[in-house]
Amino acid sequence: MTQDGLVTAIQAGSATLTATCEGASAMATVTVTGHKKSRALAYVGGLAVVAGLAAGAWILGPWRAKPEAPRNDAPVSVVTAPPPRPADSTAPAFSTPDETPTRPSGADRRAALAALRSDSTVRALRANARAARERAVTAGATPTDLAPGDAERRAAEQLVGSDRQVDVIAHLSAAMGLWVGAEQTARTRAQQAATATPPVQQQPPAVTPPPPTVAPAPENPRPLIEGAIQAYARALESRDVQQVRRAYVGLTPQQAQVWRDFFGMVTDMKVDLAIKQLQITGDVAEAQVEGFNQFVQGRRQQRQPVSFHATLDRTSGAWRIASIR
């Protein structure tokens, strides 16, 4: 086969011809018989095949222009976007964090546990105070007897939700102590009225003696003592000597100065205290307290174990720390 597309048969047989032009191709099969008279026909057939291949390459070639899409002469409206508004310097800036949030640190978990423990103490004191008032009412306490405790409870409720958990615990403890005193006063008044000598009469009527008064079950003071210890822990976390003095009434001037110097050197202080041993004798309690102090000093996180012996006194039904050694 020449460059002009002329195919010459050498002998009988079949051949497949492929024409390629700039990425387009076409194929054809040529069969040549052995009869001498058919050589001329073979030449003619070969020329026809080559012409078909050339026509196919021309039709399928990439140089054939694609039909243009109909033009749309309709006017095109252009919408101009408004200029960007200047950023408000007072609006808060929000940024999307590009890091995966990390798990809370051990200090955050301990702080959450300390806050939860404080809330549990307040709830327990509320329940105990409510029970003490109900017992006082049952014993016959008058509104005058209940008024001091009611005032302490109102003061505590006004502080709920603030950061003054120490004062909330102190007011609830005082209210409970005042209602316990009101209950005792009402029972004493009832007993005195029952045992009063009736006036002498010539023919006194038969008097049925009143049933013996059953003494109420003694109040468990442990929740109040634990509340006083937790109030002391919250006061230390506040790093305020005045709040420490409210929780620890026996604080000496030397101890106050030591705490003041220590508070000035540390930040982010967390205190966890728990009563390990408790002995109660009347209005005096001896408690062995253990726990830890965690704080930041010089950009370093530090943790120190704490162990001390606390003596607590009960005054007007409320427990206060009298001494620590």
pLDDT for res 161: 73
The CA distances from residue 41 to 3, 14, 36, 38, in Å, are: 21, 15, 10, 5
How high is the mean pLDDT of the chain? 75
Average pLDDT, stretch 294-318?
Answer: 88
pLDDT for res 80: 43
Residues 78 and 74: their CA atoms lie apart, in Å, by 13
Residues 175 and 317: their CA atoms lie apart, in Å, by 8
Question: What digits encode the pLDDT tens for the residues 58-73?
Answer: 555 554 555 554 454 4
- Is 132:178 a contact under the CB 8 Å cutoff? no
Question: What digits encode the pLDDT tens for the residues 206-232?
Answer: 677 777 665 554 578 888 888 888 998
Its pTM surpasses 0.75: no
pLDDT for res 78: 40
Tally helices (H) and strands (E) across the chain.
Answer: 7, 6
With pLDDT > 90 as the criterion, what percentage of the chain qualifies? 11
Residue 19 tokens read as 């024409």
pLDDT for res 288: 92
Q: Please name which of 58, 14, 59 lies closest in space to residue 33, comparing C-alpha atoms.
A: 14
Question: What digits encode the pLDDT tens for the residues 83-137?
Answer: 545 444 444 443 444 445 455 565 555 555 555 556 778 888 888 888 989 998 9
Average pLDDT, stretch 177-182?
Answer: 89
Average pLDDT, stretch 142-165?
Answer: 85
Burial class of residue 107, CB neighbours in 10 A (0-12, 13-18, 19+): middle
Q: What share of the chain is helix, strand, coil (3-state, %, to 5)?
A: 45, 20, 35
Sheet containing strand 300-315, strands side by side: 267-281, 284-297, 300-315, 318-324
